[in-house]
Amino acid sequence: MTEQLRLMAVHAHPDDESSKGAATMAKYVSEGVDVLVATCTGGERGSILNPKLQGDPYIEEHIHEVRAKEMDEAREILGVKQEWLGFVDSGLPEGDPLPPLPEGCFALQDVDEAAGALVKLIRSFRPQVITTYDENGGYPHPDHIMTHKITMVAFEAAGDPEKYPEAGPAWQPQKLYYNQGFNRPRTVALHEALLARGLDSPYGEWLERWKEFSRRERTLTTYVPCADFFEIRDKALIAHRTQIDPDGGWFRVPMDIQKEVWPTEEYELAKSLVDTSLPEDDLFAGIRNN
């Protein structure tokens, strides 16, 4: 294939791009692939999760602007392009019963209408491959689930010139993947490797909680080797200072163990319009040679 390869990663909030598939994106950027992150919301209702910044009145008052600056820094670290779709963060409802979602938020938008913004971006950027979340959102945050919904609609509609005619000339992406980096096999492998070396594991509680849920195991179809870019991934993640504690659990597994035990990021192939054989080690398998 002589045409420029392009990858679009559709995410719910600023910081999701750095915690899900970031090393993969950095790898492809290094190979000359054009990579664009589509961020659905501004993260306006996100909590300040880094305890070192909690209680800062400036951050609390200007969380939207602060998170936008964090996104700019992460984007530069990863070497990707980034566009905002302009929807408003829905927040993560908590309590029993759950409170209603805030009026006008992303998760309450009409799916077909909201998908139009993504269709327009797909048609202008023309990616062959798109990544997003599965139907559970990766975890059941309303914005993650809505991100899945609009991406599924947009993937199908972008190639149909009769749909969203105002969004530009039709373009049909060839493959759609779900991020599955937080999968059980990876977690078990790292957990056991840490214990075997006499180290504490941050995954014990994760694995116990996994037992409590009857959620089916996802099918991992694609393992992208990207260990050389784990440091870039972590640097981009730390750029989201309001969301990530650099001394927290995200970084408790020594880098040499990560690279040795699990040197890939994983995906589930959800849709493909090209022939490919599973398992894959490349999101562009079946596209590069067509």
129 with 201, same domain: the answer is no
Q: Domain count for the chain, please give it.
A: 2
81 with 205, same domain: the answer is no
Q: How far apart are CA 193 and CA 119, in angstroms?
A: 43
123 with 208, same domain: the answer is no
Name the average pLDDT for the chain.
Answer: 94
Task: Give domain status of residue 280, yes or no.
Answer: no
Task: Give domain status of residue 238, yes or no.
Answer: yes
Task: Give domain status of residue 287, yes or no.
Answer: no
168 with 210, same domain: the answer is no
Query: Contact at 8 Å (CB) between 12 and 40?
Result: yes
Task: Give domain status of residue 165, yes or no.
Answer: yes
CATH number at residue 234: 3.40.50.10320
Global pTM reads 0.95
171 with 188, same domain: the answer is no
- Do the annotations mark residue 11 as ligand-binding? no
- Do the annotations mark residue 191 as ligand-binding? no
pLDDT digits (tens, 9 = 90+) for 61-74: 999 999 999 999 99
Q: Give pLDDT < 70 ranges for the chain.
A: 1-2, 213-216, 289-290
73 with 165, same domain: the answer is yes
146 with 209, same domain: the answer is no
106 with 248, same domain: the answer is yes
68 with 200, same domain: the answer is no
Per-residue pLDDT at 215: 62
263 with 205, same domain: the answer is no
Per-residue pLDDT at 213: 66
Q: How far apart are CA 288 and CA 275, in angstroms?
A: 11
Q: How far apart are CA 41 and CA 228, in angstroms?
A: 30
DSSP-derived secondary structure for 104-172:
T-GGGS-HHHHHHHHHHHHHHH--SEEEE--TT-SS--HHHHHHHHHHHHHHHHTT-TTSSGGG-S---
158 with 260, same domain: the answer is yes
Task: Give domain status of residue 60, yes or no.
Answer: yes
- The domain of 86 spans 6-182+220-272
Residue type at 226 in one-letter notation: C
CA dist list (Å): 16 to 51, 100, 157? 19, 24, 25
Q: Tell me if the bond preceding 279 is cis, omega within 30° of 0.
A: yes
Per-residue pLDDT at 98: 81
Per-residue pLDDT at 90: 96
Task: Give domain status of residue 286, yes or no.
Answer: no
Per-residue pLDDT at 210: 78
Per-residue pLDDT at 93: 86
200 with 125, same domain: the answer is no
What percent of the chain has a predicted confidence (pLDDT) above 90? 83
